[in-house]
Amino acid sequence: MPADDLPESLHVTTEEQLRAVSNLTRHRIMAVLRFEPATITQIAARVGLAKGSSSYHVRLLERAGLVKVVRTRKVRGVTERYYAMAAQAIVLPDPGARQPDVLMRHVVADLEAAPVDAERHVRMAHLRLTGEQFAELGARLQALADEDRELSDPSLPDVSLAFALFRPAPR
């Protein structure tokens, strides 16, 4: 299913959806499905799981409405299902006060799991901005991410881009 046929975004609103996306393994499965459909066998190989474990996690994601079967085919009498994301983007709710930010936890886990010798660009800057400057920078970062997503070629290796623009708690 071409990405153009998918809804632009799906907002995580239920507890079932939040539990599904909060799991690092399921986060990594969704990353596999971000650009192209895949079977349980293909997902298992990409994520480094047993097929049974992959099947379990994909079923939970499917029940939560985050992934769906986009095509099937018969292979030696068995129906092979191809799964894809249910939307082009999954939008997580903002964490509540004193609750962990699921997305940032996944980003850190993925960064820590990345090959140490691979090229990476990780920076942190502390700025002092007006409300207007803060909003403008957020819009520019989002536009950059959207622009780069449009340039993305599924035949190339995966690259992750994460950013967090926030006002830290007062010290």
Contacts of 78 (CB under 8 A, 6+ apart): none
How far apart (Å, rounded) are the C-alpha atoms in residues 40 and 58?
Answer: 8
User: Residue 4 carries which DSSP code?
Assistant: G
Phi/psi-derived region of residue 139, left when phi > 0, alpha when psi is between -120 and 50, beta in every other case? alpha
pLDDT, tens digit, for every residue of 50-86?
999 999 999 999 999 999 999 999 888 889 999 999 9
Task: Please report, rounded to a whole number, the percentage of residues in the chain having pLDDT higher than 70.
Answer: 95
Cβ atoms < 10 Å from Cβ of 162: 13
pTM: 0.75
pLDDT, tens digit, for every residue of 102-152?
888 888 888 888 888 888 888 888 999 999 999 999 999 989 888 877 777
